Structure 1
Amino acid sequence: MRAFTYSRAAAVAHACQQTRDGARLIAGGTNLLDLMKLEIEVPEVVIDINRLDLANIAQSGAGLRIGSLVTNSACAAHPRVRGHYPVLSRAILAGATFQLRNKATTGGNLCQRTRCYYFYNRDQACNKRDPGSGCSALEGANRIHAILGASEDCIATYPGDMAVALAALNADVEVTAPDGSVRSIPVREFHRLPGDTPDRDNVLEPGDVITAVTLPAPVGGTQIYRKVRDRASYAFALVSIACVLKMDEGRIASAALAFGGLAHKPWHDSDMDELLTGKAPSDTLFEAVADLLLDGACSYGQNDFKIGMTRRVLKAVLREATGMQA
């Protein structure tokens, strides 16, 4: 690890100023420290924000405001999250290990790097790590890689679980800018597809600091988080699905689906939600939803199986959410 200057932020404004000048923020450090040890991230200045007053969960109107320094464990265990937003609690508990969840924070989790094996391997080409160097995954080991929204510059997949659930819940990210202004960014728009700039994972600008995540009023209904992975713990999703679905008199009153393991960002398509809404559940309907999701899907050899797997998992989740027999 290269030498760096360490200091603590006394206020959000201080953190904004420092990051605008090129410093990196650290809270739990579960992603940043790994990358610094490998010299993939080499910040000259690291600012500790753990003393900022951003670790509270509180009611916000009819919804919930989760401070950016709330740990994943605290968020998953909170009574209101468990009671009204269970898909979020289940998604968090499906990620990493309890040791990491005890350190990882809400804001840090959102900002973790989209990455794959080649991103970590400095002997291999990676446009995300070294723009313009190429993408070794295209012709290499790509079993876990993207089938949606990828580009010739990057086919890595977003590794997190929490953000997938937040996308299904239509949450917002509260961001403070260096000038003190505060804006809300829908989680569904926070992360970026790779395009020709895969080194940019999200829409934050220099100096922006995440201060909270806000959840809308509870919607009720059935909430499911299904994660398919190679082993039961400490593994990224091959495909994950967050489903928030409400039935009324035998028809789907509302639906929201989000997917992990398929793209450079948590994947959400409002057309799928609209296709489900107002319909009576049926295998024909669910097949049409899967067709819509996978229209234009592209695999790269070793990850060909993901297309069929995603179709099967989606249909199984929809059957469970609507009460159809498995």
Structure 2
Amino acid sequence: MRAFAYQRTTEVRDALSLVAEHDGARFLAGGTNLVDLMKAGVESPARLVDIRSLALGEISETPEGGLVLGATVTNSAVAADPRVRRRYPALSQAILAGASGQLRNMATVGGNLLQRTRCSYFADPSEACNKRVPGSGCSALNGAHHNHAVLDWTQHCVATHPSDMAVPLAAFDAVVRYETLDGTAEVPLSEFYLPVGDRPDLETVLPDGALITAVVLPAAKVAVTSRYRKVRERASYAFATVSVAAALDIQDGLVQDVRLALGGVASRPWRARLAESALRGGPFTAERISAAADLELAVAQPLRDNGYKVTLARNLIEAVLSDLVADMGEGPSR
């Protein structure tokens, strides 16, 4: 690991100024991803600005009944919060599926959204990776890519986004609040991550030097009946092969609202809007579930070794939605 300077601050404005004043400076919260990348030689910030002492470590209510998750709230605190567990159960389930207890105790809300891909080629400086070194190529295209993207990838990058937390946040229309030296701004999570394009190293719309200060969860009746399920290569701590966050509201046999998001299939949390539209407003039947899943995955472009992900995602959508209906004491009609 290369030598770096370290500073701690207690004010957001000071943190922003310190990063702006020093080329190569980075914010440090839990460090569960950044420090590992520094050890591997993938990241080499000249200065770390520790933000754990900023007043961003609380979960608060919105006037409408939603929640504001401060950027330095730990993953463990979010998962254990009674309001999260009651109003957005899929979020709590996703966090608990996301890492070991030790990591959840350190990892933060803001850092979780900004974690880098776990593609092995990205983490190995000896390999070609456009996300790490733009223009160097993508070793995963013809290499070991069985756990890479099947949706929205390009020849420049086939890596997936690793966050479990971000998947239900996408389903629940979360909003990312951030601050720069010019003031405060917000961006919907649906617009937060950039498409891969020809610059996969550019991952979010955050301006240079911006600091995430909170994630806002809008009040949503449908979120109360939600579930997160993750398929991984081993039952213990591992990143998702495919995951699904789903929420469902059925009244008088008709789907009033439905939310679906996928993890492990693209460079960002994948909001399944085509499937949602196909289900919303009609009866909840096994045939309509299958048709909706097929519609969403029709644009999938699997690589040589990961076509199984398309089938897995389809089956997982069907299973999670069916489980939600069973939780309501009903079942899909046929």
TM-score, normalised to structure 1, is 0.97
CA contact (8 A) 2:285 2:332 kept: no
Give 1:10 deviation, angstroms: 3.1
Give 1:272 deviation, angstroms: 2.3
RMSD value, Cα: 1.4
Identical-residue share of aligned pairs (%): 48
Mapping 1:1-40, distance limit 5 Å: 1-21=1-21, 22=23, 23-40=25-42
In structure 2, distance between residues paired with 1:159 and 1:200? 16
Unmatched 5+ stretches in structure 1: none
Corresponding position of 1:184: 186
Corresponding position of 1:49: 51
AA paired with 2:38? M
Mapping 1:107-122, distance limit 5 Å: 107-122=110-125
CA contact (8 A) 1:19 1:206 kept: no
One of 212, 215, 218 as aligned partner of 1:216: 218
Give 1:325 deviation, angstroms: 6.3
In structure 2, distance between residues paired with 1:218 and 1:82? 14
Mapping 1:92-241, distance limit 5 Å: 92-179=95-182, 181-220=183-222, 221-241=224-244
SS of match in other structure, 1:262: coil
Whether 2:303 is the aligned partner of 1:309: answer no
Corresponding position of 2:78: 75
Give 1:244 deviation, angstroms: 1.1
AA paired with 2:218? P
In structure 2, distance between residues paired with 1:145 and 1:18? 37
Runs (4 or more) in structure 1 with deviation over 6 Å come to none
Cα distance per residue 1:174-196 (max 9 Å; x no partner): 111111x2111111211122111
TM-score, normalised to structure 2, is 0.94
CA contact (8 A) 1:174 1:210 kept: yes
* Number of corresponding residues: 325
In structure 1, distance between residues paired with 2:173 and 2:215? 11
In structure 1, distance between residues paired with 2:33 and 2:255? 39
Corresponding position of 2:254: 251
CA contact (8 A) 1:253 1:278 kept: yes
In structure 1, distance between residues paired with 2:246 and 2:272? 13
In structure 2, distance between residues paired with 1:11 and 1:161? 29
My pick for the range that moved more, 128-137 or 19-28, is 19-28
Give 1:299 deviation, angstroms: 1.2
Cα distance per residue 1:145-183 (max 9 Å; x no partner): 00000010000000110010101111111111111x211
CA contact (8 A) 2:171 2:260 kept: yes
In structure 2, distance between residues paired with 1:99 and 1:311? 33
In structure 2, distance between residues paired with 1:275 and 1:29? 41
In structure 2, distance between residues paired with 1:229 and 1:276? 27
SS of match in other structure, 1:91: helix
Unmatched 5+ stretches in structure 2: none
CA contact (8 A) 2:274 2:296 kept: no
SS of match in other structure, 1:314: helix
AA paired with 2:3? A
Give 1:15 deviation, angstroms: 1.7
Give 1:274 deviation, angstroms: 1.9
SS of match in other structure, 2:176: strand
Whether 2:91 is the aligned partner of 1:88: answer yes
Cα distance per residue 1:298-321 (max 9 Å; x no partner): 111111111111111111112222
